[in-house]
Amino acid sequence: MTSYKTIKDVAVITIENPPVNALSLAVREGILDGLSRASKDDTVCAIVIIGGGRTFPAGADISEFANGKAFTKPLPQIIEKIESTQKPIVCAIHGTAFGGGLEVALGCHYRIASTRSKVGLPEVNLGILPGAGGTQRLPRLIGVWLAAEMICSGKPIEAVDADAKGILDDLVEISSLESVQTEYDKLLDAAITLALRVKNHSLEGKRVSQLKVEPVSDFFYEQLALQISKNARGMNAPLQALKAVKASAMFPFKEGMQREQQILGRLFVSSQAKALQHIFFAERQTMKIPGIDMKKGVPIKFVGVIGAGMMGSGIAINFIKKGIPVVLIDAEQEFLDRGVKAIEDYFKGRVKKGKTTRFLADRSLGYLRPSLHYEDLSNVDLVIEAVFENLDVKKSVLKHLDEICKPQTILCTNTSTLDIDQIASATNRPDRVIGTHFFSPANVMRLMENVAGSKTSERTIASVMQISKTISKIPVLVGNCFGFIGNRMLFPYNNQANALLQEGAFPHDVDKVLYDFGFPMGLFQMSDLAGNDIGLHIRKAQGIVDPSQRDPNERYVSTTADKLCEMKRFGVKSSKGWYSYAKGSRKGRPDKEVMDLIVENSKAEGFVRRNISAKEIEERCLYALINEGFKCLEEGMAYKPGDIDIIWIYGYGFPPQKGGPMHYADAVGLKKIYDSILQYGKADPKTSAWKPSKLLEQLASSGKKLAKYWTKKLKAQSNL
Ligand SMILES: CCCCCCCCCCCCC[C@H](O)CC(=O)SCCNC(=O)CCNC(=O)[C@H](O)C(C)(C)COP(=O)(O)OP(=O)(O)OC[C@H]1O[C@@H](n2cnc3c(N)ncnc32)[C@H](O)[C@@H]1OP(=O)(O)O
């Protein structure tokens, strides 16, 4: 995991633990061994620590947190050893020196970095803090202000910025065109040169732990704490990390380290840390699907998008930003012009905000080719239709595409609810048809639900999953059922919210509970933002708005929602919805007209309104959601519990510190959830969402956790 060599009397310890050189136990042992060899060898005058391959260590090995290995030869001790070594140690950074990686660098006496590299302490995103001296050394090196900003936000910075802040001693200029190997060679060369230059220098002032911290006023900590509470609402780690940074200014290094370790110990075992680390791995597991070989994907070099509305233009932006040419089609010049303008405005905005340069923005726009003619799609590798959400319209678009596009072209339909098999049946290539459910705004939201129909081929799935990654999305493969995973689960969740209105709650009561749980907003606020007519459109498509078409054995909860649309209370866009809005504002106020309507409807529908506790609101909304998640798993519509968690975190704002609905279910206890579902179902027999999932029932009665059960199941499957 490490290698050791000497070049011009400089010992070079290279960390070799691909892909990201995480500081696993074997790496830590290798560093210790290298230090010991270099210290004992009289011919060695200085030491360089460098990462092999593409990067300096991107952190401690996160998988060692759960299995306890992190506590053997722990990283703080290794860094102490590095710092106290009597020969100068130069750390050479390329790629991403994150977390423990940067902490190793802070333990070295000199730091140089490639201009292409990034450094950061992202531990708070994993629910912990930089626990190998980062909270104590960084403030000593660059001051409390800058250090606290970096540590509490977890955001990485570019090497140039790190140099300006005083983290680095020198930069090695590497252009974007140079290979990783050239970068490594130049960096090593510069590190050895520096090591030879400083070989006889005193290490006085070079051991960061011995530097003094300038104290800052309490006002600073208070302001930062306020900012953190707003930006990272509900997250423990950033505020705890701030406490550790404060300790660096209050105590000598050794005592500061003790404080850091105490806080780390508490965070380590917290439910938030477990949830956030689960998310870290779940996000990376979405590409691992049993039975799908991602290498079978074909490269996508040329793309078509049908529909230049908000969705279509948003989709197009994703591709042109990555240098993939897009033909954007609409039927009318006026619509096409509007779409193109929206895309141009998006890039203008980015330039204005300093997020890109005019040159890069123009380069991206150069990849856009607006057209009124389907014939211009004859040569694309993949085409995504983003037309009106209507089965017949989508079928006719795909039929037309099937006739025009080359036989290998993959045909994607951007739908949030429609049946992929029915859409694919309009073509002669159902194996090359797949759903790509982008979330709005499509150029911002990272989630993509890719929906496999019954005939979609492995090659099509792999190609679309790969290209989704290329455009920086988090793709999740899901099965073809109504609403797929995200919207399917949204229905029972939303229905409970509406049922609660019938029984005694108001929108702001429900929304407050969901907001307090950690969602960025409640369901009614979300519905107002999206447009209440969308829900109505879906209910109409389900045929449940007309009372004569409804199943009499199923409770209908959306009378008020339907009436709101009749009253043109569509939400923010009409300044009135579940709430009322001042012109141009997205902040809703409870509205008497709506509250009266709710009370009136309760009465008309035979409900005696009652006070409903926050606990009941939370349980009913979340347990209905979770139960549906279990049903998605047992039916094979979701491939892994973690996939559902990712969909709900990235698509619907489920609080990441709770790990997503399925992780949360395990944390609450499946038996408790199952029993509550039975109880709510008894009180409300006409709500089919309360029929418990078989899988939930089975796990609740056997006392098993979903995550463990599913991992075992997948392992058994892959061994078959
Ligand atoms: C009671 C008192 C207790 C005190 C006792 C003290 C003992 C404990 C000591 C602990 C000390 C803590 C030290 C430190 O402060 C903690 C950390 O360092 S936490 C880690 C911080 N780093 C990160 O969070 C970075 C995470 N990684 C990334 O952001 C990205 O991976 C990347 C580096 C930007 C690269 O991105 P990509 O190129 O897109 O690649 P992937 O993300 O897909 O990753 C590829 C592959 O690598 C796996 N991986 C990535 N990082 C880690 C990691 N840090 N550990 C383990 N594995 C990692 C990732 O899962 C992928 O795996 P694959 O899916 O391919 O199997």
Ligand 1 center from residue 253 Cα (angstroms): 26
pLDDT digits (tens, 9 = 90+) for 110-164: 999 999 999 999 999 999 999 999 999 999 999 999 999 999 999 999 999 999 9
pTM of the model: 0.95
Give the pLDDT of residue 720: 59
Mutate to test the pocket of ligand 1, among 1, 15, 20, 104 (most ligand atoms within 8 A of CB): 20
User: Residue with the nearest Cα to atom 42 of ligand 1?
Assistant: 284
How far is CA 439 from each of CA 302, 415, 436, 651, rounded to the nearest angstrom? Answer: 22, 10, 10, 7
User: Residue with the nearest Cα to atom 43 of ligand 1?
Assistant: 284
User: Residue with the nearest Cα to atom 30 of ligand 1?
Assistant: 58
Q: Kindly report the CA angle at 622 between 616 and 627, in degrees rounded to 5? A: 120
For residue 386, is it within any domain?
A: yes
pLDDT digits (tens, 9 = 90+) for 228-258: 999 999 999 999 999 999 999 999 999 999 9
220 and 305 in a single domain? The answer is: no
242 and 308 in a single domain? The answer is: no
The residue range of the domain holding 255 is 2-269
Q: What CATH number should be reported for the domain holding residue 532?
A: 1.10.1040.50
Give the pLDDT of residue 415: 94
Q: Quick check: 273 and 667 in contact, CB under 8 A?
A: no
> Which amino acid is present at 173?
E
- For the Cβ of 265 lying below 6 angstroms from any atom of ligand 1, the answer is yes
218 and 253 in a single domain? The answer is: yes
254 and 359 in a single domain? The answer is: no
For residue 632, is it within any domain?
A: no
175 and 60 in a single domain? The answer is: yes
Strand partners, 114: 172
Ligand 1 center from residue 282 Cα (angstroms): 13
Helix axes 507-517, 523-530, angle to 10 degrees: 100
Q: What CATH number should be reported for the domain holding residue 37?
A: 3.90.226.10
- For the Cβ of 602 lying below 6 angstroms from any atom of ligand 1, the answer is no
Of 546, 581, 609, which one is at a domain's C-terminal end?
Answer: 609
Of 609, 639, 655, which one is at a domain's C-terminal end?
Answer: 609
Helices (H), 286-390: 310-321, 333-352, 358-365
397 and 531 in a single domain? The answer is: no
Burial class for 348, CB neighbours closer than 10 Å (0-12, 13-18, 19+): middle
For residue 633, is it within any domain?
A: no
Q: Name residues of the chain where pLDDT drops below 70.
A: 719-720
- For the Cβ of 59 lying below 6 angstroms from any atom of ligand 1, the answer is yes
For residue 621, is it within any domain?
A: no
For residue 701, is it within any domain?
A: no
356 and 475 in a single domain? The answer is: yes
476 and 509 in a single domain? The answer is: no
Give the pLDDT of residue 542: 85
Domains held by the chain: number: 3
Q: In what order do the strands lie in the sheet with 89-93?
A: 2-7, 10-15, 46-51, 89-93, 110-114, 170-172
Of 609, 641, 675, which one is at a domain's C-terminal end?
Answer: 609
For residue 705, is it within any domain?
A: no
306 and 264 in a single domain? The answer is: no
Q: What CATH number should be reported for the domain holding residue 318?
A: 3.40.50.720
Q: Which residues are catalytic?
A: 103, 123
Q: Quick check: 195 and 90 in contact, CB under 8 A?
A: yes
For residue 490, is it within any domain?
A: no
pLDDT digits (tens, 9 = 90+) for 156-173: 999 999 999 999 999 999
319 and 265 in a single domain? The answer is: no
Q: What is d(CA 442, CA 323) in angstroms, rounded to the nearest whole number? A: 17
User: Residue with the nearest Cα to atom 32 of ligand 1?
Assistant: 58
Q: Quick check: 191 and 112 in contact, CB under 8 A?
A: yes
Q: Is the dihedral of CA 398, 402, 404, 410 positive or negative?
A: positive
Ligand 1 center from residue 188 Cα (angstroms): 24
Give the 3-state secondary structure of residue 285: helix
264 and 394 in a single domain? The answer is: no
Give the pLDDT of residue 291: 87
Give the 3-state secondary structure of residue 457: coil
175 and 56 in a single domain? The answer is: yes
For residue 138, is it within any domain?
A: yes
